């Protein structure tokens, strides 16, 4: 095993492996994914794993591993997912783990016997979306540095011995009470916790101070209030009547295309009571989304970006990407951007409000999933395909979304799909190599991005395939995507047409698709079943591990329009031509380099 230097993925999960993890795994210098979860492995985690420079995904959960958490794992600076849960690990969390600044998907150390305090250095993990430290023996306060984790979506610190106030972080504020239970000493402004003593005392002192100050100034304050109201009313009237050129220099006006050009930052702030949590309808990696009803009665969705995603002079960021993309894009299946504002207090984006929310939320809810019947699901797939076809083939230069997932597909009242969240989108420069950092949602990212970091339209095609199967199955097709995405080699530019017998793996061509249908819905009618079968086969075609053998979104959209099963022969011809043309293009790219 030590000589397999080109091995990228090693997945031995869900077996009955026993014994210790060999330290020689540290010789697999090209290893990207090491998954040994759900076995009977014991002993300590070998420090040699920390010598893997490209390791990005490590899952050792549900074994019998013991001993301390190895500090050497902090050397894996490309790590985006680390799961050591459900073992018998002890000792403290190494403060060096704060150096794992690429951690994005999750840090899961739950269900061990880890003790000591939570290192304040974990506040450096600003990309982290999931933090689970539950069911351990951690003590002391939750460090205030976790305020910096602006990308955090889910947190669980239950069943420890933690104390003190919660961090002032959105993920902590919206977490369920179960995320903190079993910590008698925790306190804070949360429904499941008692108020902190200092907060109670400060509130009393504040009330007394206010009374002392206000009593001798009641008369003056009334007069001042009247003056302020008059001036404020005059200012608002002037703002709504003017073109706003003077205020635009102060950064208070939106650039708006469908609401008379006069959405003012203060109006948004007033409509959400200063971005109060009660108006929050979603929290993502880049920001929080609020529902705002304006004074005109129009309802909009307002995304407040986390501080780390605001303007950065060094490189393009999510705010700039979203504005740049959506100001140039007009399509019925792409969310409409009404306005944006880079204010001194915060940066916000204003979109059309879509009543039914994200596709992911609907599929997780039993009743809403039942309402999303086969006809509506087929229409959602076609809507997403139409949007990607437009981005890839009608935009100049083409736009690669890079984060197609059920979380980023929104549905309106009539279940029409809108693709949203263009914060990681890239304009595809046809005369360059288009290298990039890893971006997207775990479980939807094309496998070749982990090795090549080269953005192509086929990255979106893979994500579309995952999302398509998720729509039909009603759940994420995680096991299926793992097996299919490793069914053929990557980057084979020399692949001949004769080697591409089909876009579909052989075991998929005869697949009984009834096993893939969401059981919460009745079996589709024969006429509807034909379209569902088309979608399933196209979904699998999009998951080919070799990007050259995936169809383009134009081919996918045309097949969906035809409302018929794609013939194996037609897909064979598409794949053959694609492989030959892509091989020539790749050879030209190598020559340029």
SS3 letters for 413-452? CCCCEEECCCCCCEECCCCCCCECCCCCCCCCCCCCHHHH
The DSSP symbol for 336 reads P
* Residues whose CB falls within 8 Å of the CB of residue 103, separated by 6 or more in sequence, listed in order: 79, 80, 81, 82, 125, 127, 128
Q: Is the four-CA dihedral 238, 241, 242, 246 of positive or negative sign?
A: positive
Tell me the CA distances in angstroms from 376 to 161, 385, 531, one per residue in order.
48, 14, 12
Any known ligand binding at 336?
A: no
- The Cα–Cα gap between 149 and 153 comes to 9
- The Cα–Cα gap between 265 and 245 comes to 14
Where helices occur in 250-302 by DSSP H, the ranges are 265-271
With beta carbons less than 8 A apart as the criterion, state whether 129 and 155 touch. no
With beta carbons less than 8 A apart as the criterion, state whether 538 and 552 touch. no
* Residues whose CB falls within 8 Å of the CB of residue 481, separated by 6 or more in sequence, listed in order: 443, 466, 469, 543
Ramachandran bin of 491, using left for φ above 0, alpha for ψ from -120 to 50, beta for the remaining angles: left
Where helices occur in 313-444 by DSSP H, the ranges are 318-326, 359-364, 366-371, 374-389
Using CB atoms within 10 A of its CB, is residue 164 exposed (0-12), middle (13-18) or buried (19+)? middle
- The Cα–Cα gap between 5 and 23 comes to 15
Encoded tokens for 361: 């939320």
With beta carbons less than 8 A apart as the criterion, state whether 49 and 73 touch. yes
| Phi, psi (degrees; rounded to nearest 5) at 348 | -135, 155
Encoded tokens for 324: 């740049």
Closest CA to 555 of 582, 578, 532, 585: 578
Closest CA to 346 of 300, 314, 303, 316: 303
- The Cα–Cα gap between 327 and 405 comes to 22
With beta carbons less than 8 A apart as the criterion, state whether 380 and 474 touch. no
| Phi, psi (degrees; rounded to nearest 5) at 142 | -80, 120
Distance between alpha carbon 176 and the CA centroid of its chain, in Å? 20
Angle between helices 553-562 and 526-541 (to 10 degrees): 170
* Catalytic residue numbers, as ranges: 403
Closest CA to 332 of 430, 417, 251, 218: 417
Query: Which positions make up the binding site?
Result: 303
Query: Which positions make up the binding site for ATP?
Result: 303
């Amino acid at each position: 095993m030590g000589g397999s230097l080109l091995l990228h993925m090693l997945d031995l999960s869900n077996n009955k492996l026993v014994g210790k993890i060999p330290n020689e795994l540290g010789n697999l210098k090209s290893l990207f994914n090491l998954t040994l979860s759900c076995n009977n492995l014991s002993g300590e985690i070998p420090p040699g794993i920390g010598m893997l420079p490209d390791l990005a995904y490590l899952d050792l959960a549900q074994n019998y591993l013991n001993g301390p958490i190895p500090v050497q794992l902090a050397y894996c600076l490309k790590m985006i997912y680390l799961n050591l849960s459900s073992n018998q690990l002890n000792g403290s969390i190494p403060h060096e783990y704060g150096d794992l600044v690429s951690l994005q998907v999750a840090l899961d150390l739950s269900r061990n016997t880890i003790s000591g305090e939570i290192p304040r250095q974990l506040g450096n993990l600003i990309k982290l979306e999931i933090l689970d430290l539950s069911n351990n023996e951690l003590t002391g306060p939750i460090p205030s540095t976790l305020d910096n984790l602006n990308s955090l979506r889910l947190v669980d610190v239950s069943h420890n011995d933690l104390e003190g106030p919660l961090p002032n972080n959105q993920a902590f504020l919206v977490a369920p009470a179960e995320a903190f239970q079993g910590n008698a000493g925790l306190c804070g402004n949360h429904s499941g916790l008692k108020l902190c003593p200092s907060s109670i005392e400060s509130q009393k002192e504040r009330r007394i101070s206010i009374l002392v100050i206000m009593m001798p100034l009641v008369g003056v304050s009334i007069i001042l209030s009247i003056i302020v109201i008059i001036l404020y009313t005059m200012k608002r009237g002037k703002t709504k009547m003017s073109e706003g050129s003077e205020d635009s220099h102060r950064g208070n006006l939106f650039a708006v295309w469908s609401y008379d050009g006069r959405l003012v930052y203060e109006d948004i702030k007033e409509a959400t009571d200063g971005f109060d949590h009660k108006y929050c309808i979603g929290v993502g990696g880049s920001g929080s989304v609020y529902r705002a009803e304006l004074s005109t009665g129009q309802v909009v969705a307002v995304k407040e970006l986390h501080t780390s995603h605001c303007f950065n002079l060094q490189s393009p960021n999510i705010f700039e990407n979203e504005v740049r993309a959506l100001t140039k894009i007009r399509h019925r299946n792409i969310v409409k951007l009404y306005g944006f504002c880079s204010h001194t207090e915060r940066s916000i984006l204003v979109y059309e409000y879509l009543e039914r929310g994200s596709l992911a939320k609907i599929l997780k809810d039993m009743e809403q999933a039942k309402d999303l019947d086969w006809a509506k699901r087929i229409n959602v797939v076609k809507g997403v395909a139409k949007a990607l076809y437009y981005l890839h083939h009608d935009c100049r230069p083409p736009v690669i979304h890079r984060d197609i997932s059920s979380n980023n597909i929104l549905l309106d009242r009539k279940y029409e799909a809108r693709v949203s969240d263009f914060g990681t989108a890239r304009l595809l420069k046809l005369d360059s190599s288009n290298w990039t950092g890893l971006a997207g949602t775990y479980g939807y990212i094309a496998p070749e991005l982990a090795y090549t970091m080269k953005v192509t339209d086929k990255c979106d095609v893979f994500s579309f395939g995952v999302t398509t199967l998720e729509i039909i199955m009603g759940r994420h097709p995680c096991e299926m995507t793992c097996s299919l995405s490793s069914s053929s080699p990557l980057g084979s530019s020399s692949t001949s047409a004769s080697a591409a017998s089909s876009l579909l793996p052989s075991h998929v061509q005869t697949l009984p698709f009834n096993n893939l249908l969401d059981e919460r819905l009745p079996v589709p009618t024969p006429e509807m079943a034909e379209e569902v079968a088309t979608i399933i086969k196209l979904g699998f075609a999009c998951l080919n591990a070799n990007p050259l053998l995936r169809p383009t979104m134009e081919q996918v959209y045309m097949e969906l329009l035809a409302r018929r099963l794609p013939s194996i022969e037609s897909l064979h011809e598409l794949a053959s031509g694609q492989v030959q043309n892509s091989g020539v293009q790749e050879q030209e790219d190598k020559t340029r380099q």
